[in-house]
Chains A and B, each alone.
Chain A
């Protein structure tokens, strides 16, 4: 699992000088962002309307067929599983769960990061100490074993459990960044200006402070989503997910346990991993591009020669 997914280390102070409408334009003008966005869009379509992508013949991803371990063919584009299920159909239908895990866990972790990081920075004093400590404890706890313990505790590796576990273990990295950024904002004059104006603390945190951190929050979300995709796949691959669910990690688990690779069925073994990788890549590309968009210093330069 690559841990180093979340954003740049130095949040750019210029980050916030961007109008909202400009974001889409910026994405459209950034090749990496475009590629990432297109990939993500494709996955969203797959998740929303899987049936459109699966020809009527073998549409039910779970249906047990009588032709197990088939090689890819016109009928089964990516072959069949050990139970004779159509791999391609499974791949398409699995998008939904994998995407849900990524998005929900990403949102959840980001939400926690923001709440805890920003509160710590804004409240200061003992509250800051306590919250920072909590963050640090979660950071140094070995994540994966914790996940295993939690997943085991929850008894059943169903979707909710995995998502909750990913959120619980995924927020701390972001919270630290949030806190750092919020600290740098804390004494910015526009916040004091709001205070002098007579605004309440809660209003200042939520309405004045958070929007200026948008780019970091988005970067954080993308990083957390990437982390969630990869970790969830790892968990399911280890058999800690629900083996009856339809998701890429589960497909890999089955492929591994039914010996897809060693039995010469690479399409079955590799395609779910590739899907995970592509979803991951789309998040990583967006994240990377987002850095460029929010920090003009990182934008690619056209080299021009004087004279």
Chain B
């Protein structure tokens, strides 16, 4: 129990620290929303004074002249209460919650599923490779995936696009999350289209992410297999499958689990490139956009969200370790 309380304490503290950084880092960026807006205005070929721009932005709830401490406390309050405001960047005026709400399912669906799949598959393959050390699977897959894990994500994506999605009649679509003109909903064509549009981006994530998991799991597995309790299980005449998963696999898996949670921070980062290359409308590209257009409210909300996502995953993984590893339960 104390373990959980401590984890929760860590959660709150880290969240606070991250949120504080999230507040100050964007404000340290050069330029300001006014500049960004001004840049957009000047396209109309008119002369707008900076003061006037400020009135426009003030309309959207941005007041740069306010005391920074006051801004900070209001920010914390807003973040916690979910009043995330409206975008002051390229989606000027759109409620941040709507923007995120539109993009989130796609990011979760694509990147989330692909990442989890990579982890699960990688762990499984790693388990088998480690178990049959020197066998066929072990001889082929880990070396192959050392190579793929070192490939730049976007490059693989470009390669795939040029193989599968170029030409007048491409095999797979290269952009968007579903065919234009389909109405989203639980109907066959829509779901089919979503799946079809997901193959390339998800496949790319899978290929570049799975290697790490295979390798670490394999190595953990090999190390675990040398443990006495595995030998003991053999001595007990326990069937191989049970030894592989129940004895060796489970123990080898535990250190991977927290590694997985920790790596999620990197995963969220990775989505930017995925969405950029595949024109996939998710959070990643939104993040990028919000950054380059100094869109504080959107940026803050996205930062909060991704920090929260990683933290929750860390917490969930802690919890899973807690369930899977009786030692963690009593360590306190």
Contacts and interface: CB of A to CB of B under 8 A. Distances in A.
Given A145-B269, A266-B162, A301-B133, A4 B154 contact: no
Most A CB contacts (10 A, CB to CB) among B26, B220, B273 go to: B273
Given A2-B209, A230-B153, A284-B147, A145 B291 contact: yes
Contact of B272 (A12, A144, A149, A261): A144
A176 B25 contact: no
Contacts of B10: 133, 136
Interface string B253-283: 0011001001101111110110010000000
Nearest to B138: A300
B311 A226 contact: no
Interface string B151-175: 1111100110110001000000000
A139 B268 CA distance: 12
Contact of A4 (B29, B213, B220): B213
A139 B265 contact: yes
A298 interface: yes
A5 to B, nearest CB: 6
B267 A3 contact: yes
Interface in A274-307: 274, 276-277, 280-281, 283-285, 288, 291, 295, 297-298, 300-301, 303
Contact of B212 (A4, A136, A140, A303): A4
A261 to B, nearest CB: 5
B266 A143 contact: yes
A142 B208 CA distance: 19
B21 A137 contact: yes
Contacts of A146: 25
Interface stretch (A77-85, A111-119, A231-239): A231-239
Interface in A236-281: 237-238, 252, 256, 261-262, 266, 269-270, 273-274, 276-277, 280-281
A141 B21 CA distance: 9
A139 B25 contact: no
Contacts of A186: none
Contacts of B310: 139-140, 142
Given A2-B211, A261-B158, A298 B222 contact: yes
Nearest to B292: A152
A155 interface: yes
A5 B214 CA distance: 11
Contact of A152 (B30, B255, B262, B276): B30
A256 B267 CA distance: 23
A10 interface: yes
Most A CB contacts (10 A, CB to CB) among B142, B149, B268 go to: B149
B255 A9 contact: yes
B71 to A, nearest CB: 18
Contact of B273 (A1, A155, A283): A1
A158 interface: no
A149 B26 contact: yes
Contact of A270 (B159, B256, B267, B284): B159
B125 to A, nearest CB: 14
Contacts of B211: 2, 4
Interface residues of A, number: 60
A297 B272 CA distance: 39
A297 to B, nearest CB: 5
Contact of B262 (A155, A176, A269, A295): A176
Contacts of A142: 265, 268-269, 287, 303, 306-307, 310
A13 to B, nearest CB: 11
A171 interface: no
Contacts of A8: 216, 219-220, 223
A94 to B, nearest CB: 14
A9 B220 contact: yes
Contacts of B292: 148, 152
B318 to A, nearest CB: 12
A237 to B, nearest CB: 5
B3 to A, nearest CB: 16
A43 interface: no
Interface stretch (B11-19, B84-92, B237-245): B11-19
B1 interface: no
Nearest to B25: A149
28 contacts: A1-B266, A2-B153, A2-B211, A3-B212, A4-B149, A4-B209, A4-B211, A5-B149, A5-B212, A8-B220, A139-B262, A140-B265, A140-B314, A141-B265, A145-B302, A145-B303, A153-B29, A233-B155, A238-B272, A252-B154, A277-B151, A277-B152, A280-B151, A281-B147, A281-B150, A288-B142, A297-B222, A297-B226
Given A173-B263, A281-B150, 11 more contacts: A3-B212, A12-B223, A139-B262, A141-B21, A145-B272, A153-B25, A261-B162, A273-B151, A298-B219, A300-B133, A303-B134
